A and B are shown apart, each in its own frame.
Chain A
Amino acid sequence: MIEVKDIKKKFGRKKVLNGVSFTANKGEITCLIGINGVGKTTILNAIMALTPLNKGEILINGEKINKHSFEKVTFIPDAITMLPQMTIADAMQFMQDFYEGWNQERATELLGFFKLEETEKIASLSKGNAAKINLLLGLALDVDFLLMDEPFSGIDIFSREQIAEVFTSHLVEGRGVIITTHEVHDIEHLIDKVVLLDNGVVLKEFNSEEVRENEGKSVVDVMREVYHK
C-alpha cells in the first residue's frame, strides 16, 4: 500500500499541494484526476523522493522511501528519460544493469507486443513509440507499484489503445498502479479508484464501481458535481 499523508508543497508562494492524503492499494488501479497544474505530477515525484515536501509523509508498504524502495515502486514519467543517443537495447541494458527486478523475458514480450525493434534509437522514436518504450522500461520491472504520469496524453489513438490493453493484461496483474490523467473518458472502465484533486486538496476519493452501483453515476457525473458545485 502507498499512503500519502497530508502532504504540502509550495513552489515559491504558490501552494501546489495543500494537505493531500490518499491511499493506493496493491492490485488496484488508482487514478489521480485534476486539470493540468494541480500538482498531480508533483505527487508522483514526491512519492519517488524526486522533489522535497514542505510537510507530510509518504509510506510505501509502511516504510519511508529508501534506496530499496526503487525495487518495489517504479515511476514512468510523461516523457522518456533515457538518453537520446541510446538504442532501445542500450536502454534495456541500463535497466538490467541497475535493477535486480528487471525481467528481460517480459521486456522482450512487450517489445514484440508493441512491434518495436531493439536497434532503434531513442531519439528517432515517434511520440507514441517513445511512450511505449517508456512504459516498457517500467512494466518489465518486477515491482509492486507502478506510477504513471499521463500515459495517454499527446499520443495517437492506436498507441493509446495498445497502452490501454496493457492495463487489463497479466503485465499489471496483482500490482498497484497509480495513474494521473486530466481526461478520464478513455479509461473509465479500467480504474478501481478515483482521487479528484483541485487547488491542492483532494475533493473526493471514491471507488468508481461503487459509485455506479450505489448512486447510478458515472465517474464523469461525480466529477461534474464536485468541480461545478
Chain B
Amino acid sequence: MQIDLNNRDPVYIQVIRYFKEQIATGMFEPGQEIPSRRELANRIKINPNTAQRAYKEMEEQGLIYTERNLPSRITKDEQILGAVREELIVEAVESFVTSIRSINVPVEEVLDLVQKKYEKESNE
C-alpha cells in the first residue's frame, strides 16, 4: 500500500480517493477485507484519528461495510462500485478538458492525439 500524500488536501479525503482508485482499477475486489484503521494509519504513517475519519466517511458513502466486530470489507454493491469508476473517469476527463481548453485546441485534433498516444502506450 503506497499513497503519496500531499500536505494541502485533507488527509482523510486523500485516503478515500486512494480507496476509490483501488476499487476502480480492481486492486480492491468487492467483499475484500481491508486493513484495520490502526493498520492503515501505521502503514501510511498518518494520524489514527484521521484514518478513523476516512473509514467513517467511506462507510457513510457505502464504499466499505463493517459487520459487528469483524474487519471492514469493500462493498459488494455493484451500483456503488460502478459509480466509483464513473466518478473517477468523469473527474479525470474534467481536469483533462480544463487544461486542454486553456491551450485552445480543436476537439478533433485532441481526440486524434489521444487515440494515437493510447495505442502507442498499449504497444509498449
Contact = CB atoms under 8 A, between A and B. Distances in A.
A–B direct contact (CB < 8 Å): yes
Contacts of A221: 7-8
Interface residues of A, number: 23
A220 B41 contact: no
Interface in B1-35: 5-13
A168 B48 contact: yes
A221 B12 CA distance: 19
Interface stretch (A55-63, A93-101, A187-195): A187-195
Contact of B5 (A173, A189, A217): A189
A220 B7 contact: yes
B10 A189 contact: no
B41 A168 contact: yes
A213 interface: yes
Interface string A209-229: 100110011111100000000
Main secondary structure of the interface of A (DSSP, over half): loop
B11 A209 contact: yes
A77 interface: no
A209 B50 contact: yes
Contacts of A170: 38
B13 A188 contact: no
- Centre residue among A27, A190, A191 by max chain B CB count within 10 A: A190
A171 B34 CA distance: 22
A206 to B, nearest CB: 13
Given A165-B42, A168-B38, A168-B41, A209 B12 contact: yes
A29 interface: yes
Nearest to B42: A168
Interface of B: 5-13, 38, 41-42, 45-50, 53
Contacts of B53: 209
A28 interface: yes
A164 interface: yes
Given A168-B38, A173-B38, A209-B50, A189 B9 contact: no
B46 A168 contact: yes
21 contacts: A28-B49, A164-B45, A165-B42, A165-B45, A168-B42, A169-B38, A170-B38, A173-B38, A189-B11, A189-B45, A189-B46, A189-B50, A190-B46, A209-B47, A209-B53, A212-B7, A212-B11, A213-B10, A213-B13, A216-B8, A219-B7
Contacts of A28: 49
A82 B121 CA distance: 61
Nearest to B48: A168
A212 B10 contact: yes
A173 B42 CA distance: 12
A93 to B, nearest CB: 30
Given A191-B47, A212-B8, 14 more contacts: A28-B49, A165-B42, A168-B38, A168-B41, A168-B45, A169-B38, A189-B45, A190-B47, A192-B49, A209-B12, A212-B11, A218-B6, A220-B7, A221-B7
A212 B9 CA distance: 5
Nearest to B39: A168
